[in-house]
Chains A and B, each alone.
Chain A
Amino acid sequence: MIDSKTQSAISQAFGSVAWSEFRGQARAVVAAGELAAVFEFARDTCGFDLLVDVTCVDYLNYRDAEDRFGLVYLLANTQTNERLTLRTFVNEPDPVVPSAVSFWPGANWMEREVWDMFGIRFEGHPDLRRILMPEEYTAHPLRKDYPMQGRGERHNFPVLHRSEA
């Protein structure tokens, strides 16, 4: 659901953007370095004023995947109802992307959640700390190399009975 004019405007402004489509959803893959410029262009020129979601996928064991982490930005235009999915890929050892908070303040908690769950740093985020996991937690639990039964969790602690307490 994206206008072909919007699509060509983005392509003209950023030559390296790779487009794909699946189930009627247009996706644009952007280099992490260009992300901030694309955000600005999408918001100010194309009118994508609503950031629906920011999330991440860890492609560790995914078939044909070349990069480790794929970030997903779901944008929407509240006037024309266009939707656009922006993708960017980052790799270890230091996965870092520019923060979208200065463009859409709503990105604040979404990016904190991605940092918490995947350990991707958002440069320029005003308050990047864990949001769901405890402060002292060391791992990023939604990474694929983090097991379903995690480390340092409840079952690893000795059981205290009433008589010993």
Chain B
Amino acid sequence: MSIAETKTLEQLAKAESRDYLWTLNFGPQHPATHTTLRIVLFLNGERVVDAIPDIGYLHSGFEKIGEHLTYNQYVTVTDRMNYISPLANNIAWHGAVERLLGLELTPRCKYVRTILAELSRISDHLLCNGAVGLDVGAFTYFLYAFHQREVLYDIFETLCGARFTNSYTRVGGAMHDMTPLVVDKIRAFIRGFPKTLDDMERLLNRNRIFVDRSKGVGVLTKQDAVARSASGPIARASGVTRDLRKDDPYLAYGDLDFQMCCAEAGDCFARYLVRMAEMRESLKIVEQAVENLPAGPINVEIDERTALPDKKQVYSTIEGTISHFELVMWNRGFTVPHDESYAAIEAPNGELGFYVVGDGTDVAYRARCRPPSFIHFSLFPHLIRGHTLSDIVAVLGSLNIIAAELDR
């Protein structure tokens, strides 16, 4: 049975009057979907009467895999969810595991994770806005954005050796500490990036073509944003003053000075502006955090029995040796409470949370991911009805749908 035949009852009731409508298949392989997703469109001329999303092309059972990998192993899978900002996923996943364990991170780890989360936000917003620009015809803007992403990739590569799938965090800390070279590169980025951001704003903020194609397109009202569970920049562009960094400060956000960026219009242009403004705020956060980076260890103490002790401890103390063996032997590992908890972070795309159920072993009993892309894509038919075919790419781009996270 095809997707067009499995419509809802009320849609079927109206089906006779739809005979004259043109049915168009958008995706799953289409340059403007950017990833693999499919939308069945019903068109009246160029006007979209209805859109039925059909997803699942990239479903790879990430939540099922989460029930078979240990808490540290699963971080590699979270990289592949929102691969535009993998570090944010790593931080969200291990933040949720640490909430379940009741683990308090070291101050240095909190700051390092904050810096990385904000750099991922910049990287994600650059790509999202760049892609919106590309889809509506602003190619130069996209290249400016992508060039800066390359600088960020270089920082991530220096940090953990991987450009794309970082897998940097571990339960109770990180793979290894942030080196002075990374700090230098971040400082250089902080100096250089505002200039590019200014250029990018000059390119697009008052660009007639871009403004005409995005203003008033895909309007999401504040009421709808809350009722339909929108979060992140999409909710804030509609005037919902909700940002987990402010509302429920985690990591080091409580110590740092930054603003929540909101808009009222709720259209594609407002979402673009919110993302541009958030990049500046993120830069402020990174600057403050880098200059106030606390000294000390990055991993939690050896007594917590979750993070691997450093080699010096392993070779010179009995506690270190025992912890190391306990953690690396396949039938040992650390123990978690026989309970469940939810923890979320303000990922670049919205609220990214993990509902983790522990059963005492070091493998999760259930690892539910609350994917912002999935929830935002359900807004799509609502936003596109009544607009023209060419607005689809503008709306789709401004929602920042990452299909790997959408389908998991």
A residues lining the B interface (CB < 8 Å): 1, 22-23, 25, 49-53, 55, 57-58, 62-64, 72, 74, 78, 81, 85, 104-110, 113, 117, 126-127, 129-135, 141-142, 148
For B355, give its contact among A53, A81, A129, A148 (CB under 8 Å). A53
Question: Is there an interface contact between A133 and B56, defined as CB atoms closer than 8 Å?
Answer: yes
* CB–CB A72/B375 < 8 A: no
Alpha-carbon distance A135/B2, docked complex (angstroms) = 9
Does B258 lie at the interface of the complex (its beta carbon under 8 Å from any beta carbon of A)?
Answer: no
Closest beta carbon of chain B to A87's beta carbon, Å? 9
Shortest Cβ gap from B407 to chain A (Å):
6
Are A57 and B357 in contact, with the CB atoms below 8 A?
yes
The distance in angstroms between the C-alpha atoms of A32 and B13, with both chains bound, is: 32
> Is B226 touching A49 in the complex (CB atoms < 8 A)?
yes
Which residues of A lie under 8 Å from residue B337 when comparing CB positions?
Answer: 22
Q: Determine how close the nearest CB of chain B comes to the CB of A40; give it in whole angstroms.
A: 14
Contacts of B64 in A (CB 8 A): 141-142, 148
Tell yes or no: B287 within 8 A of A by CB: no
CB atoms of A106 and B228 under 8 A apart: yes
Q: Which A residues touch B8, using CB under 8 A? A: 126-127
25 example contacts (A-B, Cβ-Cβ < 8 A) are as follows A23-B99, A52-B229, A53-B342, A53-B370, A57-B357, A57-B365, A57-B366, A62-B357, A62-B359, A64-B338, A72-B342, A74-B355, A74-B370, A81-B247, A81-B248, A104-B228, A105-B227, A106-B375, A108-B378, A109-B375, A110-B375, A113-B374, A126-B10, A132-B408, A135-B6
Q: Are A132 and B228 in contact (CB-based, < 8 A)? A: no
**Measured CA separation A1–B344 after assembly (Å):** 14
A117 to B355, CA, bound (A): 16
**A52 interface neighbour in B1, B339, B370, Cβ under 8 Å:** B370
Residue on B nearest A104 in the bound complex, by CB? B227
- Known contacts: A63-B360, A74-B342, A78-B242. The answer to whether A55 contacts B56 by CB under 8 A is no
- Contact check, B341 vs A23: say whether CB atoms are below 8 A apart: yes
Q: Are A104 and B229 in contact (CB under 8 A)?
A: yes
Look across to chain B and name the residue whose beta carbon is closest to the beta carbon of A23. B341
A108 to chain B minimum Cβ distance, whole angstroms, is: 6
A6 shortest CB reach to chain B, Å: 16
Bound-state CA distance A110–B339 (Å) is 23
A142 neighbours in B (Cβ, 8 Å): 63-64
Interface residue B18 (Cβ < 8 Å from any Cβ of A) = no
CB proximity to A under 8 Å, residues B304-322: none
Alpha-carbon separation in the docked complex, A78 to B260 (Å)? 15
**Which of A63, A85, A106, A131 contacts B227 (CB under 8 A)?**
A106
Look across to chain B and name the residue whose beta carbon is closest to the beta carbon of A108: B378
**Nearest Cβ on chain B to A88's Cβ, whole angstroms:** 14
Q: Is B102 an interface residue (CB 8 A)?
A: yes
Is B362 at the interface (CB under 8 A from chain A)?
A: no
Given A131-B55, A141-B61, the answer on whether A53 and B378 have CB atoms closer than 8 Å is: no
- Interface status of B353 (Cβ within 8 A of chain A): yes
Closest A residue to B248 using CB positions: A81
